[in-house]
Amino acid sequence: MGLFDKLRGEFIDIIEWLDPTNDTMVYRFERYQNEIKNGAKLTVRESQVAVFINEGQIADIFQPGMYTLTTENLPILSTLKGWKYGFNSPFKAEVYFINTKNFTDLKWGTPNPIMLRDPEFGPIRIRAFGNYAMKVIDPAKFIKEIVGTDGNFTTDKITEQLKNIVVTRFTDAIGEAKIPVLDMASNYDELSKYLEQKIKPEFNEYGIELTKFLVANISLPPNVEEALDKRTSMGIIGDLNKYTQFQAAESMTAAANNPSGTAGAGLGMGMGFAMANQMMNAMNQQQQQNTPPPVPPQIQFYVVINGQQAGPYDINTIKQLISQNQINKQTLVWRQGMSNWDNAGNVAELQNLFGTVPPPIPPQP
């Protein structure tokens, strides 16, 4: 052993970790030959936990505080080492500091579009992304399941695995929810809370707690968004003819104000006249569309009165003849489209006329 190592062995060890980063989850305290003295000082700060590991086996775990390492506060390690009456300095052990703070703003997103069946658009693909927060709640389980012997474990080494869990559960949840795409934005909060409760148990298997989960955005493919924007624009425009007239008038004003010389003025006038014709054609088409169709011709009937053909009569005239008892239900009638003469009471257009006329006055005794 060199002189420096000998001198260093004369001092009490100080074991602590000051985290200079924002993403370190586990740090292995580097010690010369991993030797720790009897009476060494251990400082565990808030949002930290210190884990002692002896020959690959987890021993004692220390919560935030300051400790003087003796047999009394190293019961598991003392058992593993066989220290019945205290230990002779130094001893070898690995010390891992676990960062238990909340790691926030961790990103997740769908690497590929998710295929869904939308009730309005049919089969459609969507993308989604958001963020989440987590923290270590079971240091021993976290070291066993995730960290292993890694002496400098950062969030980057686990977020990829966690993102795969998140994306899988999101895909399953969004497929079962059957929420229309246009209504998803109003359900981000409910969807986030539902997924948080669904994913939490899987994070707990690694000794991690999911403290927050947020769906930030659900988007459609660019070509679908473009088509949707066009559909929205048409809804805003409303009457297409009026919009065409307005656009033509605006173009005429711009052409008339074109200051680019004689040639430009002539071109502007030509464009103005062309646009004026376009506007007039649009207006004429609109007027034609607004003109009601011609009144359909009234139905006329021929009737047999006193054995003679009479008419043709329109409905109003026939109604008067019925009121004058010249036509009754047995009177033969015919109109264009009928194959033969028939009783007036059998013709659909005349049946309701007889209901409004009182029956003949019975003969007086």
Which tokens is 127 given?
């993308």
User: CA angle at residue 265 from 262 to 266, to 5 degrees?
Assistant: 85
Residues 335-356 as b or e (16 or more Cβ within 10 Å = b) = beeeeeeeebeebeebeebeee
Q: Is the dihedral of CA 335, 341, 346, 351 positive or negative?
A: positive
Read off the DSSP letter of residue 59.
Answer: E
Q: What's the confidence (pLDDT) of residue 208?
A: 93
Q: How far is CA 306 from CA 25, 310, 314, 331, 342, in A?
A: 112, 10, 19, 10, 16
Yes or no: say if 298 and 336 are a contact pair by the CB < 8 Å rule. no
CATH architecture designation of domain 103-223: 2-Layer Sandwich (3.30)
pLDDT tens string, the chain, 365 residues long: the values are 454 454 444 455 889 999 888 889 999 988 767 678 888 899 999 999 999 988 888 888 999 999 988 877 787 777 777 666 566 667 788 899 999 999 998 999 988 888 888 887 788 888 899 999 999 999 999 998 888 877 788 888 888 888 888 998 888 888 887 888 878 878 889 889 988 998 999 999 999 999 999 999 888 877 777 777 666 666 655 555 665 666 666 666 666 676 554 444 444 555 555 555 665 665 566 556 666 777 667 788 888 888 888 878 888 887 888 888 888 888 888 888 788 888 888 887 787 777 655 556 666 76
pLDDT in tens, 301-330: 888 888 888 878 888 887 888 888 888 888
- Taking the complete model, does pTM exceed 0.85, yes or no? no
Using CA atoms, how far residue 97 sits from 78, 137, 194, in Å, is 20, 13, 33
Residue 62 has a pLDDT of 93
pLDDT tens digits, one per residue of 46-77: 999 999 988 888 888 999 999 988 877 787 77
Tell me what pLDDT residue 4 has.
47
Q: For the structural domain made of 300-355, what CATH number should be given?
A: 3.30.1490
CA distance 255 to 346: 69
What's residue 10's pLDDT?
A: 47
Host H or E run for residue 266:
helix 261-290
